[in-house]
Amino acid sequence: MSDSPSTTPPAAGSAPGVPLSPAAPGEAKADNRISRYGWHAIILMSSAQMMSLLDRQILSILANDIRNDLGIGDAEMGLLYGTVFALFYALFSLPLGRLVDGWTRTKLLAICLAGWSFFAGLAAFAQGFTLLAISRLGVGVGEAATQPAANSILFDSLPKSRRGLAMGGLGVGLALGLGLSMALGGIAAEWWDLRYADGGAPLGFRGWQFAFIVAALPGFPLAWLIYKLREPERGAMDGITTKKDPAPFRASAGVLGAVTPGTNWMNLWRRDAGARQWAINLIGLAVILGFCALMVNLTSTYSPRPALDFGAVSLSPHVLQWGVFGFGAFVVLNLFQNFRLTDKPTFNVVLNPSLLMIMVLGGLQTAINYGVMFASPQILIRQFGLSMADVGLQFGLLSALLATIGALVAGPLADWLHARMGAKGMIILVILSLGISPFFGIWTYSAETLTEFYVRYTIYSLILTLWLPPTYTLLLGLALPRMRGIIFSTYLVIMTLLGQGLGPYFVGIISDQNGGDLAQALITLNLVCPFIVVLLLIVLSRYKKDEAGMLDRARRGGEEV
Protein backbone atom coordinates (compact mmCIF):
# COMPACT_ATOMS: atom_id res chain seq x y z
CA MET A 1 0.00 0.00 0.00
CA SER A 2 1.44 3.38 -0.95
CA ASP A 3 1.36 6.40 1.32
CA SER A 4 -1.73 8.57 1.07
CA PRO A 5 -1.18 11.62 -1.16
CA SER A 6 -2.81 13.72 1.54
CA THR A 7 0.19 13.14 3.82
CA THR A 8 3.08 12.33 1.48
CA PRO A 9 3.88 14.21 -1.74
CA PRO A 10 4.12 11.97 -4.81
CA ALA A 11 7.52 10.88 -6.02
CA ALA A 12 8.97 12.69 -8.99
CA GLY A 13 7.34 11.31 -12.08
CA SER A 14 4.28 10.01 -10.23
CA ALA A 15 0.84 11.55 -10.13
CA PRO A 16 -1.36 12.54 -7.21
CA GLY A 17 -4.04 10.19 -6.00
CA VAL A 18 -7.61 10.76 -7.15
CA PRO A 19 -10.25 9.53 -4.70
CA LEU A 20 -13.36 8.38 -6.51
CA SER A 21 -16.97 8.57 -5.43
CA PRO A 22 -18.72 5.53 -6.89
CA ALA A 23 -21.93 7.40 -7.53
CA ALA A 24 -20.33 10.49 -8.94
CA PRO A 25 -19.52 9.40 -12.51
CA GLY A 26 -23.12 8.54 -13.24
CA GLU A 27 -24.30 11.86 -11.85
CA ALA A 28 -21.75 14.02 -13.64
CA LYS A 29 -23.15 16.79 -15.77
CA ALA A 30 -26.40 15.32 -17.04
CA ASP A 31 -26.91 18.52 -19.07
CA ASN A 32 -25.65 17.77 -22.60
CA ARG A 33 -25.53 21.39 -23.70
CA ILE A 34 -22.20 23.00 -24.50
CA SER A 35 -21.59 26.15 -22.46
CA ARG A 36 -20.32 29.42 -23.85
CA TYR A 37 -16.97 28.63 -22.23
CA GLY A 38 -17.01 25.20 -23.93
CA TRP A 39 -17.42 26.75 -27.38
CA HIS A 40 -14.69 29.27 -26.55
CA ALA A 41 -12.38 26.41 -25.56
CA ILE A 42 -13.16 24.48 -28.76
CA ILE A 43 -12.32 27.52 -30.91
CA LEU A 44 -9.00 28.25 -29.17
CA MET A 45 -7.91 24.61 -28.96
CA SER A 46 -8.78 24.10 -32.63
CA SER A 47 -6.79 27.23 -33.48
CA ALA A 48 -3.80 25.86 -31.60
CA GLN A 49 -4.10 22.62 -33.58
CA MET A 50 -4.30 24.67 -36.77
CA MET A 51 -1.06 26.50 -35.95
CA SER A 52 0.58 23.20 -35.02
CA LEU A 53 -0.15 21.67 -38.44
CA LEU A 54 0.63 24.92 -40.25
CA ASP A 55 4.15 25.15 -38.82
CA ARG A 56 4.76 21.40 -39.05
CA GLN A 57 3.38 20.73 -42.55
CA ILE A 58 4.63 23.80 -44.42
CA LEU A 59 7.89 21.96 -45.09
CA SER A 60 6.11 19.66 -47.55
CA ILE A 61 5.02 22.43 -49.95
CA LEU A 62 8.45 24.08 -49.76
CA ALA A 63 10.39 20.82 -50.07
CA ASN A 64 11.27 21.09 -53.77
CA ASP A 65 12.65 24.62 -53.47
CA ILE A 66 14.60 23.68 -50.33
CA ARG A 67 16.01 20.58 -52.08
CA ASN A 68 17.13 22.63 -55.06
CA ASP A 69 18.52 25.49 -52.98
CA LEU A 70 20.36 23.39 -50.39
CA GLY A 71 21.16 20.35 -52.54
CA ILE A 72 19.57 17.57 -50.47
CA GLY A 73 17.52 14.53 -51.53
CA ASP A 74 14.09 13.04 -50.78
CA ALA A 75 15.47 10.82 -48.02
CA GLU A 76 17.04 13.82 -46.26
CA MET A 77 13.79 15.78 -46.61
CA GLY A 78 12.02 12.81 -45.09
CA LEU A 79 14.45 13.02 -42.17
CA LEU A 80 13.69 16.72 -41.67
CA TYR A 81 9.95 16.33 -42.09
CA GLY A 82 9.65 13.17 -40.03
CA THR A 83 12.60 11.82 -38.09
CA VAL A 84 14.27 14.92 -36.63
CA PHE A 85 10.90 16.36 -35.66
CA ALA A 86 9.73 12.99 -34.32
CA LEU A 87 12.69 12.53 -31.97
CA PHE A 88 12.09 15.62 -29.88
CA TYR A 89 8.32 15.60 -30.28
CA ALA A 90 8.23 12.07 -28.89
CA LEU A 91 10.73 12.65 -26.06
CA PHE A 92 9.29 15.91 -24.73
CA SER A 93 5.64 14.94 -25.12
CA LEU A 94 6.12 12.73 -22.03
CA PRO A 95 7.31 15.28 -19.44
CA LEU A 96 5.00 17.89 -20.99
CA GLY A 97 2.13 15.40 -20.91
CA ARG A 98 2.86 14.84 -17.21
CA LEU A 99 2.90 18.62 -16.71
CA VAL A 100 -0.49 18.78 -18.45
CA ASP A 101 -1.82 16.47 -15.71
CA GLY A 102 -0.52 18.61 -12.86
CA TRP A 103 -0.11 22.27 -13.88
CA THR A 104 -2.22 24.99 -15.52
CA ARG A 105 -2.89 23.60 -18.98
CA THR A 106 -3.83 26.91 -20.62
CA LYS A 107 -0.58 28.59 -19.57
CA LEU A 108 1.50 25.59 -20.59
CA LEU A 109 -0.06 25.45 -24.05
CA ALA A 110 0.39 29.20 -24.55
CA ILE A 111 4.10 29.09 -23.61
CA CYS A 112 4.74 26.11 -25.90
CA LEU A 113 2.88 27.75 -28.78
CA ALA A 114 5.02 30.88 -28.56
CA GLY A 115 8.14 28.71 -28.39
CA TRP A 116 7.45 26.59 -31.43
CA SER A 117 6.43 29.68 -33.44
CA PHE A 118 9.87 31.15 -32.76
CA PHE A 119 11.62 27.99 -33.95
CA ALA A 120 9.39 27.75 -37.03
CA GLY A 121 10.52 31.25 -38.02
CA LEU A 122 14.14 30.31 -37.38
CA ALA A 123 14.05 28.06 -40.47
CA ALA A 124 13.97 31.23 -42.58
CA PHE A 125 17.65 31.79 -41.77
CA ALA A 126 18.81 28.28 -42.74
CA GLN A 127 21.67 27.99 -45.21
CA GLY A 128 22.06 24.23 -44.87
CA PHE A 129 20.70 21.07 -43.30
CA THR A 130 21.89 21.84 -39.75
CA LEU A 131 19.84 24.97 -38.98
CA LEU A 132 16.78 23.42 -40.61
CA ALA A 133 17.26 20.45 -38.30
CA ILE A 134 17.52 22.77 -35.27
CA SER A 135 14.34 24.52 -36.35
CA ARG A 136 12.48 21.22 -36.64
CA LEU A 137 13.88 20.18 -33.25
CA GLY A 138 12.43 23.30 -31.61
CA VAL A 139 9.08 22.95 -33.34
CA GLY A 140 8.95 19.33 -32.20
CA VAL A 141 9.60 20.22 -28.55
CA GLY A 142 7.04 23.04 -28.52
CA GLU A 143 4.30 21.12 -30.27
CA ALA A 144 4.71 18.14 -27.93
CA ALA A 145 2.27 19.71 -25.43
CA THR A 146 -0.41 20.65 -27.97
CA GLN A 147 -2.58 17.57 -28.24
CA PRO A 148 -2.29 16.38 -24.61
CA ALA A 149 -3.18 19.87 -23.34
CA ALA A 150 -5.96 20.51 -25.89
CA ASN A 151 -7.58 17.11 -25.35
CA SER A 152 -7.42 17.41 -21.57
CA ILE A 153 -8.89 20.94 -21.60
CA LEU A 154 -11.76 19.92 -23.90
CA PHE A 155 -12.59 16.75 -21.97
CA ASP A 156 -12.96 18.94 -18.86
CA SER A 157 -14.96 21.62 -20.71
CA LEU A 158 -17.66 19.57 -22.48
CA PRO A 159 -20.21 16.95 -21.38
CA LYS A 160 -19.21 13.33 -21.99
CA SER A 161 -21.87 12.94 -24.66
CA ARG A 162 -20.38 15.77 -26.77
CA ARG A 163 -16.75 14.72 -26.80
CA GLY A 164 -16.94 13.36 -30.31
CA LEU A 165 -17.89 16.89 -31.38
CA ALA A 166 -14.89 18.22 -29.45
CA MET A 167 -12.54 15.83 -31.24
CA GLY A 168 -14.20 16.83 -34.50
CA GLY A 169 -13.45 20.45 -33.65
CA LEU A 170 -9.79 19.60 -33.22
CA GLY A 171 -9.99 17.78 -36.54
CA VAL A 172 -11.24 20.98 -38.17
CA GLY A 173 -8.23 22.80 -36.75
CA LEU A 174 -5.90 20.16 -38.12
CA ALA A 175 -7.59 20.40 -41.51
CA LEU A 176 -7.31 24.17 -41.66
CA GLY A 177 -3.67 24.04 -40.60
CA LEU A 178 -2.95 21.49 -43.28
CA GLY A 179 -4.65 23.51 -46.00
CA LEU A 180 -3.19 26.83 -44.92
CA SER A 181 0.32 25.37 -44.76
CA MET A 182 0.12 24.56 -48.45
CA ALA A 183 -1.87 27.58 -49.61
CA LEU A 184 0.02 30.10 -47.50
CA GLY A 185 3.40 28.45 -48.07
CA GLY A 186 3.01 28.10 -51.81
CA ILE A 187 1.54 31.55 -52.43
CA ALA A 188 3.93 33.41 -50.09
CA ALA A 189 7.01 31.68 -51.52
CA GLU A 190 6.04 32.23 -55.16
CA TRP A 191 4.99 35.86 -54.58
CA TRP A 192 8.34 36.61 -52.95
CA ASP A 193 10.38 34.91 -55.67
CA LEU A 194 8.48 36.78 -58.41
CA ARG A 195 8.81 40.11 -56.60
CA TYR A 196 12.58 39.69 -56.22
CA ALA A 197 13.29 37.72 -59.39
CA ASP A 198 16.03 40.18 -60.31
CA GLY A 199 17.66 40.08 -56.88
CA GLY A 200 17.73 42.57 -54.05
CA ALA A 201 15.58 40.57 -51.61
CA PRO A 202 15.88 41.70 -47.97
CA LEU A 203 18.42 39.59 -46.07
CA GLY A 204 18.96 37.66 -49.30
CA PHE A 205 15.83 35.61 -48.51
CA ARG A 206 14.42 33.16 -51.01
CA GLY A 207 10.67 32.58 -51.24
CA TRP A 208 10.68 29.47 -49.07
CA GLN A 209 12.47 31.36 -46.31
CA PHE A 210 9.93 34.18 -46.38
CA ALA A 211 7.12 31.59 -46.17
CA PHE A 212 8.49 30.28 -42.86
CA ILE A 213 8.32 33.80 -41.39
CA VAL A 214 4.73 34.27 -42.56
CA ALA A 215 3.70 30.91 -41.07
CA ALA A 216 5.30 31.63 -37.69
CA LEU A 217 3.90 35.10 -36.93
CA PRO A 218 0.22 34.28 -36.13
CA GLY A 219 1.27 31.95 -33.30
CA PHE A 220 2.21 34.79 -30.97
CA PRO A 221 -1.18 36.58 -30.64
CA LEU A 222 -2.92 33.18 -30.40
CA ALA A 223 -0.59 32.21 -27.54
CA TRP A 224 -1.67 35.35 -25.67
CA LEU A 225 -5.38 34.51 -26.08
CA ILE A 226 -4.87 30.97 -24.78
CA TYR A 227 -2.81 32.28 -21.86
CA LYS A 228 -5.85 34.37 -20.84
CA LEU A 229 -8.30 31.44 -21.09
CA ARG A 230 -9.69 30.27 -17.74
CA GLU A 231 -8.43 26.84 -16.64
CA PRO A 232 -11.34 24.32 -16.44
CA GLU A 233 -11.88 22.18 -13.34
CA ARG A 234 -10.10 18.87 -13.82
CA GLY A 235 -12.42 15.85 -13.70
CA ALA A 236 -15.64 17.82 -13.12
CA MET A 237 -17.35 16.54 -16.26
CA ASP A 238 -16.70 12.96 -15.14
CA GLY A 239 -17.72 13.49 -11.54
CA ILE A 240 -14.20 12.57 -10.43
CA THR A 241 -12.56 14.93 -7.96
CA THR A 242 -8.88 15.44 -8.72
CA LYS A 243 -6.52 16.62 -6.00
CA LYS A 244 -4.13 19.47 -6.71
CA ASP A 245 -0.66 18.27 -7.68
CA PRO A 246 1.80 19.68 -5.11
CA ALA A 247 4.88 19.49 -7.34
CA PRO A 248 4.01 19.25 -11.07
CA PHE A 249 7.35 20.57 -12.34
CA ARG A 250 9.33 18.18 -10.16
CA ALA A 251 7.17 15.34 -11.41
CA SER A 252 7.63 16.45 -15.03
CA ALA A 253 11.41 16.66 -14.60
CA GLY A 254 11.27 13.23 -13.00
CA VAL A 255 9.56 11.81 -16.08
CA LEU A 256 12.16 13.40 -18.39
CA GLY A 257 15.00 11.96 -16.33
CA ALA A 258 13.33 8.56 -16.12
CA VAL A 259 12.79 8.16 -19.87
CA THR A 260 15.94 9.78 -21.31
CA PRO A 261 18.59 7.20 -22.25
CA GLY A 262 21.46 7.41 -19.77
CA THR A 263 19.67 9.19 -16.94
CA ASN A 264 17.08 6.40 -16.93
CA TRP A 265 19.63 4.17 -15.16
CA MET A 266 19.96 6.74 -12.39
CA ASN A 267 16.19 6.57 -12.02
CA LEU A 268 16.27 2.77 -11.76
CA TRP A 269 19.00 3.01 -9.12
CA ARG A 270 17.17 5.69 -7.09
CA ARG A 271 13.95 3.67 -7.17
CA ASP A 272 15.74 0.54 -5.93
CA ALA A 273 14.65 -1.36 -9.02
CA GLY A 274 15.13 -5.08 -8.64
CA ALA A 275 17.23 -7.39 -10.78
CA ARG A 276 14.20 -8.19 -12.95
CA GLN A 277 13.69 -4.52 -13.90
CA TRP A 278 17.40 -4.06 -14.67
CA ALA A 279 17.34 -7.20 -16.83
CA ILE A 280 14.26 -6.01 -18.72
CA ASN A 281 15.92 -2.66 -19.39
CA LEU A 282 19.30 -3.96 -20.54
CA ILE A 283 17.96 -6.87 -22.59
CA GLY A 284 15.39 -4.55 -24.13
CA LEU A 285 18.15 -2.10 -25.08
CA ALA A 286 20.17 -4.91 -26.69
CA VAL A 287 17.17 -6.03 -28.74
CA ILE A 288 16.47 -2.45 -29.87
CA LEU A 289 20.11 -1.88 -30.89
CA GLY A 290 20.22 -5.18 -32.76
CA PHE A 291 17.00 -4.38 -34.65
CA CYS A 292 18.20 -0.88 -35.58
CA ALA A 293 21.58 -2.20 -36.77
CA LEU A 294 19.76 -4.71 -38.97
CA MET A 295 17.52 -1.98 -40.42
CA VAL A 296 20.49 0.31 -41.11
CA ASN A 297 22.09 -2.49 -43.10
CA LEU A 298 18.90 -3.35 -45.01
CA THR A 299 17.93 0.23 -45.89
CA SER A 300 21.50 1.22 -46.79
CA THR A 301 21.64 -1.73 -49.19
CA TYR A 302 18.19 -0.96 -50.63
CA SER A 303 18.68 2.81 -51.02
CA PRO A 304 22.30 4.02 -50.63
CA ARG A 305 22.47 7.70 -49.71
CA PRO A 306 25.41 10.12 -49.39
CA ALA A 307 26.47 11.09 -45.88
CA LEU A 308 25.11 14.22 -44.21
CA ASP A 309 27.70 16.73 -43.00
CA PHE A 310 27.37 18.20 -39.50
CA GLY A 311 30.45 20.39 -39.37
CA ALA A 312 33.41 18.07 -39.02
CA VAL A 313 31.18 15.01 -38.61
CA SER A 314 29.60 13.04 -41.46
CA LEU A 315 26.72 10.67 -40.80
CA SER A 316 24.71 8.30 -42.97
CA PRO A 317 21.04 9.38 -43.11
CA HIS A 318 20.06 5.76 -42.48
CA VAL A 319 22.15 5.65 -39.31
CA LEU A 320 20.51 8.90 -38.19
CA GLN A 321 17.04 7.56 -39.01
CA TRP A 322 17.37 4.28 -37.13
CA GLY A 323 19.36 5.88 -34.34
CA VAL A 324 16.41 8.19 -33.72
CA PHE A 325 13.98 5.29 -33.95
CA GLY A 326 16.01 3.26 -31.47
CA PHE A 327 16.25 6.24 -29.14
CA GLY A 328 12.46 6.58 -29.22
CA ALA A 329 11.87 2.87 -28.69
CA PHE A 330 14.13 2.92 -25.64
CA VAL A 331 12.24 5.97 -24.34
CA VAL A 332 9.00 3.96 -24.54
CA LEU A 333 10.57 1.07 -22.62
CA ASN A 334 11.85 3.46 -19.95
CA LEU A 335 8.44 5.13 -19.72
CA PHE A 336 6.63 1.88 -19.02
CA GLN A 337 9.23 0.94 -16.41
CA ASN A 338 8.82 4.35 -14.76
CA PHE A 339 5.05 3.84 -14.60
CA ARG A 340 5.69 0.49 -12.94
CA LEU A 341 7.98 2.00 -10.31
CA THR A 342 6.23 5.31 -9.54
CA ASP A 343 2.58 5.17 -10.62
CA LYS A 344 1.03 1.70 -10.47
CA PRO A 345 -2.52 2.87 -11.35
CA THR A 346 -1.33 4.48 -14.61
CA PHE A 347 0.88 1.46 -15.35
CA ASN A 348 -2.13 -0.86 -14.99
CA VAL A 349 -4.39 1.38 -17.08
CA VAL A 350 -1.90 1.89 -19.93
CA LEU A 351 -1.45 -1.89 -20.26
CA ASN A 352 -5.13 -2.22 -21.15
CA PRO A 353 -5.05 -4.38 -24.34
CA SER A 354 -7.58 -2.23 -26.23
CA LEU A 355 -5.64 0.92 -25.34
CA LEU A 356 -2.34 -0.52 -26.56
CA MET A 357 -3.85 -1.78 -29.82
CA ILE A 358 -5.48 1.60 -30.51
CA MET A 359 -2.09 3.26 -29.99
CA VAL A 360 -0.36 0.89 -32.43
CA LEU A 361 -3.01 1.01 -35.15
CA GLY A 362 -3.17 4.80 -34.83
CA GLY A 363 0.58 4.98 -35.36
CA LEU A 364 0.48 2.74 -38.43
CA GLN A 365 -2.36 4.71 -40.01
CA THR A 366 -0.55 7.96 -39.25
CA ALA A 367 2.44 6.63 -41.22
CA ILE A 368 0.17 6.50 -44.27
CA ASN A 369 -1.35 9.91 -43.55
CA TYR A 370 2.01 11.64 -43.16
CA GLY A 371 3.33 9.86 -46.22
CA VAL A 372 0.35 11.15 -48.22
CA MET A 373 0.72 14.74 -47.06
CA PHE A 374 4.51 14.71 -47.47
CA ALA A 375 4.47 13.33 -51.01
CA SER A 376 1.23 14.60 -52.59
CA PRO A 377 2.33 18.24 -53.12
CA GLN A 378 5.57 17.05 -54.70
CA ILE A 379 3.68 14.60 -56.97
CA LEU A 380 1.54 17.47 -58.24
CA ILE A 381 4.65 19.55 -58.95
CA ARG A 382 6.76 16.79 -60.52
CA GLN A 383 4.17 14.66 -62.30
CA PHE A 384 1.54 17.21 -63.27
CA GLY A 385 3.70 20.33 -63.62
CA LEU A 386 1.92 22.58 -61.11
CA SER A 387 3.68 25.51 -59.48
CA MET A 388 3.93 25.85 -55.70
CA ALA A 389 1.22 28.52 -55.73
CA ASP A 390 -1.07 26.27 -57.81
CA VAL A 391 -0.52 23.37 -55.42
CA GLY A 392 -1.17 25.62 -52.44
CA LEU A 393 -4.42 26.97 -53.82
CA GLN A 394 -5.73 23.78 -55.41
CA PHE A 395 -4.49 20.89 -53.30
CA GLY A 396 -4.02 22.80 -50.06
CA LEU A 397 -7.45 24.39 -49.97
CA LEU A 398 -9.12 21.23 -51.29
CA SER A 399 -7.44 19.16 -48.56
CA ALA A 400 -8.52 21.67 -45.91
CA LEU A 401 -12.11 21.66 -47.17
CA LEU A 402 -12.32 17.86 -47.33
CA ALA A 403 -10.71 17.35 -43.94
CA THR A 404 -13.02 19.97 -42.41
CA ILE A 405 -16.09 18.26 -43.87
CA GLY A 406 -14.81 14.90 -42.68
CA ALA A 407 -14.17 16.16 -39.13
CA LEU A 408 -17.55 17.91 -38.93
CA VAL A 409 -19.24 14.70 -40.04
CA ALA A 410 -17.14 12.25 -38.04
CA GLY A 411 -17.39 14.03 -34.68
CA PRO A 412 -21.21 14.25 -34.43
CA LEU A 413 -21.55 10.88 -36.19
CA ALA A 414 -19.31 9.29 -33.54
CA ASP A 415 -21.52 10.82 -30.80
CA TRP A 416 -24.67 9.58 -32.57
CA LEU A 417 -23.32 6.05 -32.97
CA HIS A 418 -22.11 5.99 -29.38
CA ALA A 419 -25.56 7.02 -28.12
CA ARG A 420 -27.18 4.13 -30.02
CA MET A 421 -24.55 1.40 -30.05
CA GLY A 422 -22.02 2.40 -27.41
CA ALA A 423 -18.31 2.27 -28.20
CA LYS A 424 -19.03 -0.51 -30.71
CA GLY A 425 -20.59 2.02 -33.07
CA MET A 426 -17.49 4.21 -33.09
CA ILE A 427 -15.21 1.22 -33.66
CA ILE A 428 -17.32 0.11 -36.64
CA LEU A 429 -17.00 3.61 -38.11
CA VAL A 430 -13.20 3.42 -37.80
CA ILE A 431 -13.15 -0.06 -39.36
CA LEU A 432 -15.21 1.12 -42.34
CA SER A 433 -12.98 4.17 -42.84
CA LEU A 434 -9.63 2.39 -42.60
CA GLY A 435 -10.82 -0.85 -44.17
CA ILE A 436 -11.82 0.62 -47.53
CA SER A 437 -9.51 3.66 -47.70
CA PRO A 438 -6.45 1.69 -48.99
CA PHE A 439 -8.30 0.71 -52.16
CA PHE A 440 -9.17 4.34 -52.83
CA GLY A 441 -5.59 5.36 -52.01
CA ILE A 442 -4.17 2.98 -54.61
CA TRP A 443 -6.80 4.20 -57.09
CA THR A 444 -5.93 7.85 -56.37
CA TYR A 445 -2.19 7.53 -56.86
CA SER A 446 -2.65 5.59 -60.07
CA ALA A 447 -4.31 8.61 -61.72
CA GLU A 448 -2.85 9.66 -65.06
CA THR A 449 -4.37 13.14 -65.36
CA LEU A 450 -4.74 16.02 -62.94
CA THR A 451 -8.54 15.89 -63.12
CA GLU A 452 -8.55 12.18 -62.34
CA PHE A 453 -6.26 12.77 -59.40
CA TYR A 454 -8.44 15.46 -57.84
CA VAL A 455 -11.68 13.51 -58.31
CA ARG A 456 -10.19 10.36 -56.81
CA TYR A 457 -8.41 12.25 -54.03
CA THR A 458 -11.69 13.90 -53.02
CA ILE A 459 -13.34 10.53 -52.44
CA TYR A 460 -10.25 9.07 -50.78
CA SER A 461 -9.81 12.01 -48.41
CA LEU A 462 -13.45 12.08 -47.29
CA ILE A 463 -13.29 8.38 -46.40
CA LEU A 464 -9.93 8.70 -44.67
CA THR A 465 -10.89 11.68 -42.49
CA LEU A 466 -13.63 9.72 -40.68
CA TRP A 467 -11.27 7.72 -38.47
CA LEU A 468 -9.59 10.31 -36.24
CA PRO A 469 -12.37 11.81 -34.01
CA PRO A 470 -13.83 8.42 -32.98
CA THR A 471 -10.34 6.94 -32.48
CA TYR A 472 -9.26 9.72 -30.12
CA THR A 473 -12.56 9.47 -28.26
CA LEU A 474 -12.08 5.72 -27.84
CA LEU A 475 -8.48 6.16 -26.73
CA LEU A 476 -9.21 8.80 -24.09
CA GLY A 477 -12.28 6.88 -22.96
CA LEU A 478 -9.87 4.30 -21.52
CA ALA A 479 -8.00 6.86 -19.36
CA LEU A 480 -8.94 8.45 -16.04
CA PRO A 481 -9.02 12.30 -15.96
CA ARG A 482 -5.73 12.70 -14.09
CA MET A 483 -4.00 10.33 -16.54
CA ARG A 484 -5.21 11.79 -19.83
CA GLY A 485 -2.17 13.98 -20.47
CA ILE A 486 0.48 11.32 -19.90
CA ILE A 487 -1.51 8.53 -21.59
CA PHE A 488 -2.14 10.64 -24.66
CA SER A 489 1.54 11.58 -24.65
CA THR A 490 2.36 7.86 -24.57
CA TYR A 491 0.18 7.49 -27.65
CA LEU A 492 1.96 10.43 -29.27
CA VAL A 493 5.34 8.76 -28.77
CA ILE A 494 4.17 5.50 -30.35
CA MET A 495 2.25 7.32 -33.09
CA THR A 496 5.19 9.60 -33.85
CA LEU A 497 7.73 6.76 -34.02
CA LEU A 498 5.56 4.63 -36.29
CA GLY A 499 3.84 7.46 -38.13
CA GLN A 500 5.88 10.59 -38.67
CA GLY A 501 9.14 8.84 -37.88
CA LEU A 502 8.76 6.05 -40.45
CA GLY A 503 6.08 7.11 -42.95
CA PRO A 504 7.86 9.97 -44.80
CA TYR A 505 11.20 8.16 -44.46
CA PHE A 506 9.99 5.00 -46.18
CA VAL A 507 8.20 7.03 -48.84
CA GLY A 508 11.45 8.90 -49.43
CA ILE A 509 13.76 5.90 -49.72
CA ILE A 510 11.31 3.93 -51.89
CA SER A 511 10.99 6.99 -54.13
CA ASP A 512 14.77 7.52 -54.33
CA GLN A 513 15.25 3.86 -55.24
CA ASN A 514 12.59 4.05 -57.97
CA GLY A 515 13.66 7.17 -59.79
CA GLY A 516 11.63 9.65 -57.74
CA ASP A 517 8.29 7.81 -58.15
CA LEU A 518 6.52 9.10 -55.05
CA ALA A 519 3.12 7.80 -56.18
CA GLN A 520 4.36 4.21 -56.27
CA ALA A 521 5.98 4.72 -52.88
CA LEU A 522 2.62 5.76 -51.40
CA ILE A 523 0.89 2.75 -52.95
CA THR A 524 3.54 0.47 -51.40
CA LEU A 525 2.99 2.03 -47.97
CA ASN A 526 -0.61 0.74 -47.94
CA LEU A 527 0.70 -2.79 -47.33
CA VAL A 528 0.32 -2.15 -43.58
CA CYS A 529 -3.47 -1.71 -43.88
CA PRO A 530 -4.51 -5.37 -43.39
CA PHE A 531 -2.69 -5.42 -40.04
CA ILE A 532 -4.55 -2.24 -39.00
CA VAL A 533 -7.90 -3.87 -39.76
CA VAL A 534 -6.99 -7.01 -37.80
CA LEU A 535 -6.16 -4.88 -34.74
CA LEU A 536 -9.47 -3.02 -35.08
CA LEU A 537 -11.43 -6.28 -35.21
CA ILE A 538 -9.74 -7.42 -31.98
CA VAL A 539 -10.56 -4.07 -30.34
CA LEU A 540 -14.18 -4.45 -31.48
CA SER A 541 -14.39 -7.81 -29.73
CA ARG A 542 -13.05 -6.63 -26.37
CA TYR A 543 -13.39 -2.84 -25.98
CA LYS A 544 -16.55 -3.01 -23.85
CA LYS A 545 -14.88 -5.41 -21.42
CA ASP A 546 -11.68 -3.35 -21.25
CA GLU A 547 -13.61 -0.12 -20.72
CA ALA A 548 -15.69 -1.64 -17.90
CA GLY A 549 -12.56 -2.88 -16.16
CA MET A 550 -10.68 0.45 -16.29
CA LEU A 551 -11.29 1.44 -12.65
CA ASP A 552 -10.50 -2.07 -11.43
CA ARG A 553 -7.22 -1.94 -13.30
CA ALA A 554 -6.35 1.41 -11.74
CA ARG A 555 -7.19 0.19 -8.24
CA ARG A 556 -5.29 -3.08 -8.61
CA GLY A 557 -2.72 -3.47 -5.86
CA GLY A 558 -4.78 -1.58 -3.30
CA GLU A 559 -3.46 1.88 -4.23
CA GLU A 560 -5.46 5.09 -4.55
CA VAL A 561 -6.11 6.12 -8.13
pLDDT tens for each residue of the chain, 561 residues long: 333 333 333 443 444 444 433 333 343 444 577 778 888 888 899 899 889 888 877 877 787 778 777 766 666 676 676 666 777 777 788 888 888 888 888 999 999 999 999 998 888 887 777 788 788 888 888 888 888 888 888 888 877 777 777 777 777 787 788 777 777 777 788 888 777 766 666 766 788 888 888 888 889 999 999 998 888 877 666 666 667 777 788 888 888 888 888 888 988 888 888 899 999 999 999 999 999 999 999 988 887 777 766 556 677 778 878 888 888 889 889 989 988 888 888 888 888 999 999 999 998 998 888 888 778 888 888 888 887 678 777 887 788 788 788 878 887 888 888 888 888 999 999 999 999 999 999 999 988 899 999 999 999 988 988 888 889 889 988 888 778 778 888 888 888 788 877 887 788 788 777 777 788 888 888 888 899 999 999 999 999 888 888 888 878 755 555
Q: Is the distance from CB of 70 to CB of 128 less than 8 angstroms?
A: yes
Please, is 6 exposed, middle or buried when counting C-beta atoms within 10 Å of its C-beta (0-12, 13-18, 19+)? exposed
Q: Which of 89, 193, 186, 99 is nearest to 143 (CA)?
A: 89
pLDDT at 283: 96
Chain centroid to Cα 12, Å, comes to: 25
Q: Which of 533, 524, 561, 13 is nearest to 268 (CA)?
A: 13
Q: Is the distance from CB of 399 to CB of 179 less than 8 angstroms?
A: yes
pLDDT at 3: 37
Cα 472–Cα 120–Cα 89 angle in degrees, nearest 5: 40
First-to-last C-alpha distance (Å) of the chain: 12
pLDDT at 154: 86
Q: Is the distance from CB of 506 to CB of 408 less than 8 angstroms?
A: no
DSSP label at residue 11: P
Q: Is the distance from CB of 235 to CB of 482 less than 8 angstroms?
A: yes
Q: Which residue type sits at 282?
A: L
pLDDT at 31: 59
DSSP label at residue 558: S
Q: Is the distance from CB of 336 to CB of 343 less than 8 angstroms?
A: no
Neighbouring C-beta atoms of residue 27, cutoff 10 Å: 9
> Given the DSSP bridges, would you call strands 313-315 and 308-310 parallel, antiparallel or unpaired?
antiparallel
Q: Is the distance from CB of 441 to CB of 432 less than 8 angstroms?
A: no
Q: Where are the domains of the chain?
A: 31-234+247-256+343-555, 267-339
pLDDT at 91: 78
Please, is 151 exposed, middle or buried when counting C-beta atoms within 10 Å of its C-beta (0-12, 13-18, 19+)? buried
Transcribe 446-475 into DSSP letters.
Answer: T--SHHHHHHHHHHHHHHHTTSHHHHHHHH
The alpha carbon dihedral of 358, 359, 365, 366 has a sign of positive
pLDDT at 24: 38
Query: 31-234+247-256+343-555 architecture in CATH?
Result: Up-down Bundle (1.20)
Chain centroid to Cα 89, Å, comes to: 8
Q: Which residues pair with 309 in a beta bridge?
A: 314
Round the CA-based radius of gyration of the chain to a whole number and report it. 23
